[in-house]
Amino acid sequence: MTEAASTGARVLVLDDEEAIRRTVERLLTGHGFVVRAVSSGEEALGVAPRFQPDLMLVDLGLPGVDGFEVIAQTRDRTSTPIIVLSVRGAERDKVRALEMGADDYLTKPFGVDELLARVRVALRHAARGGRGTDAIFRSGGLAVDLERREVTVDALPVQLTPTEYALLTALVDQAGRVLTDRALLRRVWGPEYGSESHYLHVYMARLRKKLEADPANPRYLRTEPGVGYRLLEVDAEG
Amino acid sequence: MLPAPVAVVLPYLLATAGVAMVTLGIALAGRPDLGNASMLYLIVVLVAAVAAGRAVAIFSALLAFFSFNWFLTEPRHTLSVADPDDWILLLLFLLTAVVTGQLAAGQKRRAEEAEEHERQARVLTDIAIALTEPTLERTLRSVADRLRAELGVDAVQVELGGARAASSVDADALEALDNTDRTIDVLATDGGSEARWIRLAPPHRRLAAMAMAHRVGRAPIRGAGGEEAGHITLATSNRRGFDGAAARLLAGVAPQLWAAQERSRLRAEATEAEVLRRSDEAKSALLDAVSHDLRTPLASIIASAGSLRQAAVQWSTQERAEFAAAIEQEARRLDRIVGNLLDLSRIRAGSLHPDVAWYEPVALVRDVLARMAGVTAAHRLVLDLPDELPPVPLDYSEIDQVLTNLVENAVRHSPPGTTVTVRAVVDGGELRVCVEDEGPGIPVDELRRIFEPFHRVRGVTRRGTGLGLAVARGLVEAHRGRIWAESAAAGGSRFCFVIPTREAMP
């Protein structure tokens, strides 16, 4: 019944909707995770120090202590990856949660594959402490050699300007995870930036033109509407 | 009112009569001391000055002098003045006439001005009251009536802000207002000078020469930028037309009318914008609530179905059954939400017509609660029901929905493990059903508002759309019943509804 690849990582699930809590608990247990499901923010904060989760799935809208409060208090103590569960349309909430220290988000209703993929990416990042030590990042036909500062698509070299390269490496560093517009702007343009999203959109369009076979339907550089961007990790076979 | 020529001549006639009477009196009294007797003429001059102004006073003074000289002083029946004293007398008469006349006229003018101001203030007050009329047409109508009465004209028409209203004594006067191709008096107020009438002739001489039964005057109502925002048109059968008092009154009224109309227009615009904003807010609250409530069960359904499809996991029979049960339970919940949405839209459209038949209420309650076993599983459910109740006329599916919503509401707002009690009685010609919970209760000031669509109790986040109670109220009211919430003795809430046990008389 367990899946060999998931090796007993501990997941704390916080959602006040019993049906979702039960389903996610059952699903993750079936995939070999050790799951603890709770229905309130108070309970989550009480259980976390003893349960020592490797990952938390946190619903934002809760009665009493809400998801934001749980994120804030968790970040005061640990760097446990947090994936936010939120309904579509609440983009502002997602951005706020990410800026408060959440690592990623899932929009309800979410697919099971999507949930499992996000959980695995978050756990891998936490284990490696960022991108890790690989000098070359690969996703499908895209390869970024971070030591030699060389970018190739399907083995053909691509010329990038310094800003484009900085933007790409920022995404590579957090590959698989969402980055808010503000986070990308600060990282690439500097700490005094944050609200100049149009810069970002312009450079992202140029980057797509150079890296994507079909810039209108990007394979690597995904837009997360209203939130930011995500560099997808695509299997080599594509 | 006297005809105009008589009004002008009358004071002179009266003054002449006064002088004649004094002359006759002195003549009949024999030969008194003329110097003292002449003082009697001064009375006439003074009265003339006070009552009729300077011109009549001077006329009286001259007439008195000549009468005195002609009839009384020697030599009689001549105008020669032998005695220098008589010259002094003449000068005295004239001086008295001029000075008193001046003073009296000034006094009179001030009194008239005061009266005019008072009149203007009265008219403006009445106009301010007229502006509280619900529509601009009715306001203008009141203003036209008021001006017509005040100015004593035959017709008044006010045109402002795309509306117009008229007040007239007869159809002819009204018709005169609309005839623009004629000589009219236009009120000129520019240049800071006193308001006055300026006569404008039409371009065609033939028309100008035509005899008209009415004189027409027009006072423009100017906006802030001096543009003509409207006008007041007057018609009178008085040959003399419109006087300065009318000019001053209209010059005072016009800007007030514009300012007041502008204020009410701005107020209306602000109200309209506010209504639109609130309606937008309500719509977006509705969309948020509905999308949240529809997506929550969908999230469970999609996750459960996706889990069952996972090839990497070999689910046990029991696990499969649990996923399937979750899918069924959440699909039923979706069905309830969709049912509520449809009911709400029918309630709002007023197209709700209960399909009434006679049903036994206890069976209905048991039926609903049996179907909701999944929802109430985490609570202790107590049924305080008699074995049977007399049949009640109701729409089965609608009362089913009411009870379902009340039970779902009770479960949602009270912690698992607490008791939810359902009671039903028939009493005093009514069926009463109550659902009681042991939750935190509802603040007193919220007890009524919770039945409004999308209303949620303060401090309670994202628990339900706020649709269920609004729908329950609509359905109960369609049965000519009542629904209310109250605080239960144990500290929770009690929701009750009653519907009459007799069919409505057609």
Task: Evaluate whether A102 touches A82 at the Cβ level (below 8 Å).
Answer: yes
**CA–CA min distance B344, chain A (Å):** 23
Instruction: Give the C-alpha distances (Å, rounded to integers) separating A101 from A44, A77, A96, A184, B436.
Output: 17, 12, 9, 15, 42
pLDDT category at B302 given cuts 50, 70, 90 is: very high
Rounded CA-CA distance B32/A179 in Å is 124
Residue type for position B497: F
**CA–CA min distance B278, chain A (Å):** 20
Beta-bridge mates of residue B197: B187
**CA–CA min distance B448, chain A (Å):** 22
Residue B192's pLDDT is: 57
Signed CA dihedral, B443, B445, B450, B453: sign only: negative
Say whether A17 and B299 touch across the interface (CB within 8 A): yes
Question: For residue A19, what is the nearest residue in chain B, using CA coordinates?
Answer: B300
Candidates A18, A108, A113; nearest CB to B295: A108
User: Chain A neighbours among B 43-82 (CB < 8 Å)?
Assistant: none
Tokens of B194: 């006193």
CA atoms within 13 A on the CB side of A116: 20
Task: Evaluate whether A162 touches A206 at the Cβ level (below 8 Å).
Answer: no
Say whether A20 and B303 touch across the interface (CB within 8 A): yes
| Partner A contacted by B296 (CB < 8 A) | yes
Residue type for position A166: A
Name the nearest CA neighbour of A58 among A102, A18, A22. Answer: A102
Rounded CA-CA distance B473/B314 in Å is 48
Mean pLDDT of A102-114: 89
Mean pLDDT of B270-293: 77
Taking only the tens place, the pLDDT of each residue in B381-395 is 999 999 889 989 998
Candidates B295, B312, B378; nearest CB to A109: B295
| Partner A contacted by B309 (CB < 8 A) | yes
What are the phi and psi torsion angles at B155 (to 5°)?
Answer: -150, 145
Residue A1's pLDDT is: 37
Rounded CA-CA distance B283/B289 in Å is 10
Say whether B461 and A61 touch across the interface (CB within 8 A): yes
Beta-bridge mates of residue A55: A11
Q: Judge if the upstream peptide bond of residue B203 is cis by omega within 30 degrees of 0.
A: no
Complex confidence, ipTM: 0.70
Size of interface A-B (CB pairs under 8 A): 87
pLDDT category at B59 given cuts 50, 70, 90 is: confident
Residue B504's pLDDT is: 53
pTM exceeds 0.80 = no
Say whether A26 and B312 touch across the interface (CB within 8 A): no
**CA–CA min distance B313, chain A (Å):** 6
pLDDT category at A3 given cuts 50, 70, 90 is: very low
Taking only the tens place, the pLDDT of each residue in B326-384 is 898 889 888 888 888 888 888 878 777 888 888 899 999 998 998 888 888 889 999 99
Interface of A with B (CB under 8 A): 1, 3, 17-20, 22-24, 26-27, 30-31, 61-63, 66, 87-89, 108-113, 115
Say whether A62 and B295 touch across the interface (CB within 8 A): no
Residue A111 has pLDDT above 70, yes or no: yes
Please give the mean pLDDT across all residues of chain A.
87
Residue A55 has pLDDT above 90, yes or no: yes
Name the nearest CA neighbour of B183 among B200, B197, B204. Answer: B200
Candidates A1, A88, A111; nearest CB to B295: A88
Rounded CA-CA distance B69/A50 in Å is 133
Taking only the tens place, the pLDDT of each residue in B136-189 is 788 888 888 888 888 888 889 888 877 888 888 888 777 777 776 777 888 887
Task: Evaluate whether A40 touches B437 at the Cβ level (below 8 Å).
Answer: no
Beta-bridge mates of residue B357: B394
**CA–CA min distance B310, chain A (Å):** 8
Say whether B313 and A17 touch across the interface (CB within 8 A): no
What are the start-end ranges of the E strands in chain A? Answer: 10-14, 34-38, 55-59, 82-87, 104-108, 136-139, 142-145, 150-153, 156-158, 178-180, 221-224, 228-231
Say whether B461 and A20 touch across the interface (CB within 8 A): no
Taking only the tens place, the pLDDT of each residue in B184-221 is 888 887 655 678 888 887 766 555 545 577 888 888 88
Rounded CA-CA distance A90/A94 in Å is 7
Taking only the tens place, the pLDDT of each residue in B259-268 is 877 877 888 8
Residue B417 has pLDDT above 80, yes or no: yes
Say whether A112 and B329 touch across the interface (CB within 8 A): no
Mean pLDDT of A110-126: 89
Query: Which residue, chain included where needed, has tokens 């040959």?
Result: B239
